[in-house]
Structure 1
Amino acid sequence: MTNDIHLVEDLQHAAHETADRAHYVNQWVMHHVTDSGEWHTPLWSLHLPPWMSNNAVMLIVASLLLIISFGAFYRYQDRKAPRGWTNALEALVLFVRNEISIAYLGPKDGRKMAPLFLTFFFFILTCNLMGLCPLFSTATGNINVTFGLASVTFFFMVFGAMYVNGPIRFFKAFAPEGVPWPILIILMPIEMIGLVIKCVALTIRLFANMLAGHIVVFSLVGLLVTFGYWALPALGMALAINLLEVFIAFLQAYVFTVLSAMFIGEMYHPAH
């Protein structure tokens, strides 16, 4: 009887200890995926000034990396046969320009808007890949960052379309020809609300995908802290998901750029 009592007490103590570890892991995960005034690293945390946040640092670093990379690209663009990094960069630039910008906006507008979509693609890709490095965090896992990017798309969908087509043709695009006026009373507000919904979809899609992937990886690693060596197989799953995150980084940059080009192209050329 005494042994049974001790066994129950040991099990209760183990359960409380496991719960405490799980609570600690949950706090640790949320602390590392949310924006704060600290730059987190595996070994130390750097306290930032009050006017600076962790994600703001990531945005600055990503911008500097892009400036340096494209500076090197333009420096060696006069070579007849680009090699190495410049060759890969040129292939991506041509892909975004030809298969995304020109494909959805046409040759004239597509060439003019190519710098915007190139900025979208490479900036988002850089932020996504930086989030996989131990010293950095994922700025695109912050909804404020993705909202800012989607707001740029919204600006070109509205004011860019007004500049290209004129205000009258812009608003006429919400009223398709041949539709009876009683239906237009319902259809036009829905079409206008659709502009906002498209940008909200851009915001949520990128933010949710990048945030969810990192939470899953951190949670699987946290199982080792909670359950010890019994959760060792979870480390292999975390590694597999982390490798999948590399593909997701490229995919989400591509999806955001394609959807932005599609939405802007629909407003620039409503007849099509």
Structure 2
Amino acid sequence: MNILEALSYAKRELLHCCFDPHIRPALEAELLLGYVLDTTREWLHTWGEHTIEEADWEMLKACVSRRLQGEPIEYIIKSASFYGREFYVDERVLIPRPETEILVEKVHALIQEKNIQTIGEIGTGSGVISIILGLLCPELRIIATDISPTALQVAQINLENHANSANQLRVRVGFVCANLFEGISEVPKVLVSNPPYIAKGYPLGKNILYEPHNALFGGDVGDEILRLIIDFGSLVGVEFLACEIGWDQKEALEIYLRAHGYEGVFYRDLSGFYRGFIAYLL
């Protein structure tokens, strides 16, 4: 079995996938085999006639089987792309979504406009938001919390993977195990969060249910944690809140923000749905 034959096998099998209409068989075949052989997609096509070992062939078949059962490819290959970089992910954390890149862009613009030096992140998960903002803003200091100690282990892996002596990320980004921002004495100028916001019982795709449920579901309605973040921000006087939200939560959260002294500016995702807000303390 050579590389081209293995790719053809994986692509053919993935064409039978019925749980995800957006699956890209050719790309995913390359990603899976690249993961198995610990190499790049480009290398696979350069050395297509190269024979693969029996152990690698068996591992590829196992990976394809896992994918066909609905497991996200990011968990299988232990990697997810976000904001042009690769991050380690596994079952301890939510897989970063392209929609969250919009939140990062909005917060980055706010940091630049207001010359903000410190921010906090609630529910950092894999740490991608804080790490990207730290890379984009060389002077920025960040305190990022998560209630899950195992999620913070993944965040620390990603910090180590992207930190170096030049960017000083290890000094400027700190991960803390905490509920919301409890126990953190310093009040940041900005609180950013992509919290759990899906309503309990909302029907989700088979592949999404592989992800940690405490990172998906926000409560019976879905916006309960978002409201707690607004409560906390109002209580301690955080000047700016920046949060991702569910597509149907804009109207209720707009009212809740105003009742707690904030004016919310809501933004849409690339599909046209409301996906988040930047809120200013009045």
TM-score of Structure 1 vs Structure 2, range by shorter chain: under 0.3
Higher strand share: 2
Please give the TM-score of this superposition, normalised by the length of structure 1. 0.23
Q: Answer 1 or 2: higher relative contact order, Cα 8 Å, separation at least 6.
A: 1
Structure having the larger proportion of residues in helix = 1
Structure with max Cα Rg = 1
